[in-house]
Structure formats: C-alpha cells, structure tokens
Amino acid sequence: MAERNHLSRGDESTSRGFPQKTPLPAGIDNTDKNRSSALRLHNGVFVSTNETWLASEVSMHKNAARLSLRFARSANGPAGPPGQCRARWQAQRLHQISHGKRMLDIYCERLSADFWAEPVNALTNLAFVVAAISGWRLYRQHPSAAPASAWLVVVVAMIGVGSFLFHTFATAWAVAADVLPILVFQIGYLWVYGRQVIQWRRTTGLVVVVLFVTTILVSGQFGEIANGSLAYAPAAAVLAWLAIFHTRTAQSSPHTLLMATVLFLLSLTFRTLDEALCAAVPLGTHFLWHLLNSVVLYLAMRGLIVESAARSVR
C-alpha cells in the first residue's frame, strides 16, 4: 500500500506512479537550490515546472499548504510568463483530485477542492445582487427608460450567481455559469445603448456587435497574458468609447460612464495582480474585482436608464 507523504524534509514519495526523491516545499530555507524545480503541494496535487503529479491520497494541513504555495510562487521568479511562475500556470489546468472531483484552480485564495475554499471571492458576489436591486429600483423610478434595461438588471444578478458558483464548485460547468452572463451583459448593453441612446440603425448595431464579439473571441485565446484579463480588453475599450460619447451628449449625469470606465480599469488591475501578489497577499486581490465591478455595472445601468428616459421625453 502506498505510504502517505508528509511535509518533513527528506521525505520521499513512494506512492504508485510517483517519482522517487521528489523535493518537498520543506526546503523553503534553500530557495536558491530549488529555484529551477520549485514544487507546489496543493491539496494532494504536486505541481513542478515540468509536470503535474496526481495524489488524491495526500492530505495536509491548510497552513502547510499555504506555506508551500508561497514557496512555489516565489521560487520560480521571472522564469515563467510575465509576472507569473510556471508552476502556478500549470496549476490552472483541470486536475483530478479529492475523490475524482475536477477543480479549476485559478485564484490565490483557493487551496483545496472544498466548496468554501474561496469564501471571500464567493461571498463578495453579493455585491452584484445589491447592484441589481439598486438598478431595478432606479428603473422603477424612470418608467420611460428603455424597457430592455429591465432584463439587463436581471443579467447583473445572474452574474453574481454565476460567479458564486464558479468560486465554490470551481468546475468546468461553473466556468460557463460565470462567463456566459458576463458575455450576455456586454453584448446586450452595447446593443441597447447603441439603439436607444446613440440611435443606431438595426444594421449598424448588428455590425458593431459582431465586431465586438469577434474581438472578445480573439482576445480570449491569450488567456496566459495578464492572468486572463486580456479577454476584458474589448469591454474596456467599448466602455471608454461609450463614456466619451456619453460625456459629450448626455442630457443628465454626463460623467456616469466615465466614472464606470475608471473603476473598471482599476478593477481589471486588481484582477490581473491576483497572481503576482499571491506571495505577499495570500488572500489575493480578485475579491476587489467583484466589489468594484458591481459598482461599474450599476453605473453602466444608471447611465443607460437615466439617459434613455431623458431622451424618450424630450
């Protein structure tokens, strides 16, 4: 029977399928020696710069896991992609761990396959629900606003639910639940704002939306850049473009979308730095992406609702 591994120095992996004399993170006091072959122990998954070993039988204390996680993130230095260590990028792949459960490990806060392994990232999604409720109240106060604004408010609530599922289940289907509402909101908002505020013709709106979706699909192919944040570059560019138009033409609150753009860029920065700051901030910074983005979505809805209402009565 395979022996259970421990985090003591000199321990060797003797489980079936494991390489012998695997260096454990207990050598954290000798980072120079292990710099080129850093190893991360993550709830039964060993990750090196070269390969990933599966070990569903391995158990460990959470503090020990955090220590080894910090070691691996700092030991690789600049050898991997910009601002990232190669070990962590390999850890983003789906692994079979903990009784065959498939988990997607992307953010600093997650150290296991447990449902509540990301409590802060999960619970901060309540901010999207608050934003949706606030948006619905605003819509009720402006009955002449674009009717489609109402379903955009619902989509904001769905973003919060989908993100909660992803940060708890962390599985492939949860990724879809997280990403799809975001994509629907981006496309829907561009269409509704273009048609109701900018007054695009239907053909113009369709062309712009198709181009927008195309840029999203292309940028999404470079997930290793900026911790995956490059996929949101098209949204940032479109929001900035709409903010310029809104500032110049809005009849009410002309700077609403401009504030949303600034906050979105700030939130995108925190999303990008989540990995780079892991060693210094074990909790990560992804939760700030949630909190700031909830404000961004509310401001975006406010700009659409108030302006479409103002234009409908002039």
Cα–Cα distance measured from residue 169 to residue 175, given in angstroms and rounded to the nearest whole number: 9
Are 32 and 155 contained in the same domain?
A: no
Same domain, 188 and 307: yes
Among 54, 76, 103, where does a domain finish? 103
pLDDT of residue 313: 76
Smallest Cα–Cα separation from 309: which of 222, 250, 243, 239?
A: 250
Q: Identify whether the C-beta of residue 212 lies closer than 8 Å to the C-beta of residue 183.
A: no
Report residue 113's pLDDT band, with 50, 70 and 90 as the boundaries. Answer: confident
Global pTM? 0.72
Quick one: pLDDT band at residue 197, thresholds 50, 70, 90?
A: very high
Q: Do residue 145 and residue 70 come from a single domain? A: no
Whether 94 and 156 map to the same domain: the answer is: no
Q: Which of 76, 65, 56 is nearest to 24 (CA)?
A: 65
Spatial separation of the C-alpha atoms in residues 126 and 121, rounded to whole Å = 10
259 located within any domain: yes
pLDDT, tens digit, 9 for 90 and up, residues 293-305: 999 999 999 999 9
- Rounded to whole angstroms, how far apart are CA atoms 84 and 277? 10
Is residue 50 pLDDT above 50, yes or no? no
- pLDDT of 169 above 70: yes
Q: What are phi and psi of 176, to 5 degrees?
A: -60, -40
Sheet holding 45-47, edge to edge: 40-42, 45-47, 52-54
Which structural domain range is residue 88 located in? 25-103
Verify that 160 and 69 share a domain, yes or no: no
